[in-house]
Structure 1
Amino acid sequence: MSTDKDRFLTIFNQISSSLLADIQSLPGLSDSLKSQLTTYYSTCLPYTVPGGKMTRGLTVIKGVEVLKSRPLTDKEYTDAAILGWQVEWLQAFFLVADDIMDGSITRRGQPCWYQRPNVTQDNAINDALILENMIYQTLRRHFKGHPSYVGILELFIDTTYRTEIGQHIDTNGTPYAEGKRAPLDLGRFTLDRYRGCVRYKTSYYSFYLSCALALAYCGYSQDSEEGKALYGKAEEVCMRLGEYFQIQDDVLDAFAPPEVLGKIGTDIEDAKCSWLVCKALELVNEDQKQILVDHYGKHEEEGVKKVKELYKELKLEELYHEYEEEQKKACDELIASIEPESFRDLFTFLLGKIYKRQK
């Protein structure tokens, strides 16, 4: 099965070249302005879009391969890779915006895009919107004549909407009054809120979208009985994988060294509704709860340290490892129920990518 990153990155370069050429063809702009725009985005695109493991994009290729049950032709590979890169573009749009909202410092081992010299926060907000728009430019260029063009567009539209709903749930874990953060309300940190956030913020775009794009490209319609069953099973597995992935992410945010994780975790300072704080609130006594009241959501190094010490005292890492094994077993059983059998390989591939990951 082809998951060659170098070949995949070649397609990124082709897509980027076309998008930069689009800027050059904009009417009514001077050559000087076009040159400035092209120079800026020729830095922005490789900085924000590729990077990391690129699992979301490669999953589309893997999905098309398992559904075709044969090696892909060059045209099929290119199409699948272009779709895969649009998932990576969507990820870039979300991350550029998310880093601004969270006040993050690093991403993938380097400064966040908005932290770069000569970018500024205002520019970065606009850049996030342009990254999103580029998805639709690329889809129109390559798939306008494809039988599944409308279905593919709808998958991106629906996934973006759902992810933004998840982001709202995430960023509104602490209420605001008259434009200012209200006093921390630990009662809002529940596993119910957490699961809703994870389903919408993570599971759909990180797992389901790639699988659904492979189905759409291969001609499976959500209106047919066979298609409904396949999309439904993909969604069921991906929601479970997404929750597992996000809980894993929360644990890594608190405990993984930044040099391994590739970013500095800020969930405690940002008062995130993380799995760790939700579980802690189920287990704490009154004295332990006071530590969270006093220090959660504050940008104080000593306070963050005390919250992490509380997590260790409550043995939350051990609880997570028990959860991880339970999820692995549940995912294996769910994957085994998928028909056709060849489609199972895609979800086994995804589970293998996240099981016991360290970053």
Structure 2
Amino acid sequence: MSSTDMESFLEIYKQIESEIIADIQSLPALSDNVKKQLTDYYSVCLPYTVPGGKMTRGLTVIKGVEVLKQRALTEKEYKDAAILGWQVEWLQAFFLVADDIMDGSITRRGSPCWYKCPNVTQDNAINDALILENMIYQTLRRHFKTHPSYVQLLELFIDTTFQTEVGQHIDTNGTPYADGERAPLDLTRFTLDRYQGCVRYKTCYYSFYLSCALALAYCGYDPESEEGKVLYKKAEDVCMILGEYFQIQDDVLDAFAPPEVLGKIGTDIEDAKCSWLVCKALELVNDEQRMVLEENYGRHDPVGVQKVKDLYKDLKLEELFRAYEDERKETCDELIAMIRPENFQELFKFLLAKIYKREK
């Protein structure tokens, strides 16, 4: 996307933000002082948590509508597609605010996590995550209530939120708790089949499939029709592979990318996450190396974290990932080439280009 397109996209964000702030200002039975406190607070919260990332998820909706229409979009079509794209970004903001609290993360996009900001308590931030989610449905109702695909658009967000929350449960329960205390580390829980299930639900649907499906729904493709079933299924098949590749990239970057490049401080090792790195390591370690993981994985100890990273390097996991990356690229290219109509291929080529060999 050119900078002009990005500027147009950001302009739609500002319009949506203004509408939401106006909704808050019009709440009944609140004093002017309370309304001012709310509007002042969310006038900071929204621009801090919603825009600011790469915005690929949102821009993908616009790209998808353009590809399906096979022409330049009208002003109304562009605005509709951009509004839908921003709702995906809003969903991302909701997930990230909550996820950072769950993981005890420190930074996000190069700045303190929202719950770490001055005048924002953890309790505030939990509620803010819930409000961010609700704003999606407020905006969809405002702009798409009379659209023929309104129910389908709603259901895509409802289904995707549930799928992602299932994935988050799998992700955060790699090391279970009993009576409020973390159970002893159980490395047998870190398997690639568990990892793949987690990634499918936590990442693939909301980061890739949702944007593609929204474009299909907005353009009138019925998922119950013969043509629609094929298109949605092809989109899902490619997006599951793209999403898994993207998450494995994330895991590798979490361990090895400098925080100033990544925009956050990785905590997968400290948080005992079921990451691709630990799953692959457990397939390759000898008894002595396994002991390094048993003694150090899941501990908030910089020395122990470094020992795990050193083990990953000894096992040449970065090199294994590079080989996997090339294989995934080839698989994606083959799947994309089979998609019909051919113009729909452009959407997935766009997505693959966005993530292939990325460094943050």
Q: Counterpart of 1:70 in 2: which secondary structure?
A: coil
Q: 1:85 corresponds to which residue?
A: 86
Distance 2:116 2:138 in 1: 27
**1:331-342 residue pairs with structure 2 within 5 A?**
331-342=332-343
Deviations 1:220-258 (A, max 9, x none): 011111011100000000000000000000000000000
Scaled by the length of structure 1, the TM-score of the pair is 0.99
Q: Counterpart of 1:320 in 2: which secondary structure?
A: helix
Distance 2:298 2:37 in 1: 40
**1:1-359 residue pairs with structure 2 within 5 A?**
4-359=5-360
The AA in structure 2 aligned to 1:93 is: F
Distance 2:20 2:300 in 1: 40
Deviations 1:296-322 (A, max 9, x none): 000000000000000000000000000
Deviations 1:275-309 (A, max 9, x none): 00000000000000000000000000000000000
Q: How big is the shift at 1:51?
A: 1.0
The AA in structure 1 aligned to 2:272 is: A
Q: How big is the shift at 1:179?
A: 1.7
Distance 1:38 1:60 in 2: 29
Q: How big is the shift at 1:137?
A: 0.1
Distance 1:325 1:23 in 2: 49
Q: How big is the shift at 1:163?
A: 0.1
Distance 2:73 2:350 in 1: 18
Scaled by the length of structure 2, the TM-score of the pair is 0.99
The AA in structure 1 aligned to 2:252 is: V
Distance 1:4 1:260 in 2: 25
Q: How big is the shift at 1:22?
A: 0.2
Distance 2:309 2:350 in 1: 33
The AA in structure 1 aligned to 2:74 is: T
Distance 2:38 2:108 in 1: 24
Misfit runs of 4+, over 2 Å: none
Deviations 1:317-338 (A, max 9, x none): 0000000000000000000000
Distance 2:24 2:10 in 1: 21
Q: How big is the shift at 1:267?
A: 0.3
The AA in structure 2 aligned to 1:176 is: Y
Deviations 1:1-30 (A, max 9, x none): 777111100000000000000001111101
The AA in structure 1 aligned to 2:299 is: K
The AA in structure 2 aligned to 1:72 is: L
Q: How big is the shift at 1:69?
A: 0.2
The AA in structure 2 aligned to 1:143 is: F
Distance 2:39 2:227 in 1: 45
Distance 2:104 2:12 in 1: 32
The AA in structure 2 aligned to 1:180 is: E
Distance 1:20 1:193 in 2: 42
Deviations 1:59-95 (A, max 9, x none): 0000000000000000000000000000000000000
Distance 2:17 2:181 in 1: 40
Distance 1:222 1:26 in 2: 38
Distance 1:8 1:179 in 2: 45
Q: How big is the shift at 1:175?
A: 1.2
Distance 1:236 1:32 in 2: 52
Q: Counterpart of 2:200 in 1: which secondary structure?
A: helix
Distance 2:211 2:52 in 1: 17
Distance 2:353 2:222 in 1: 28
Distance 1:15 1:221 in 2: 28
Q: Percent identity?
A: 80
Unaligned runs of 5+ in 2: none
Q: Counterpart of 1:222 in 2: which secondary structure?
A: coil
Distance 2:226 2:31 in 1: 54
Distance 1:187 1:37 in 2: 47
Distance 2:94 2:71 in 1: 33
Q: How big is the shift at 1:202?
A: 0.2
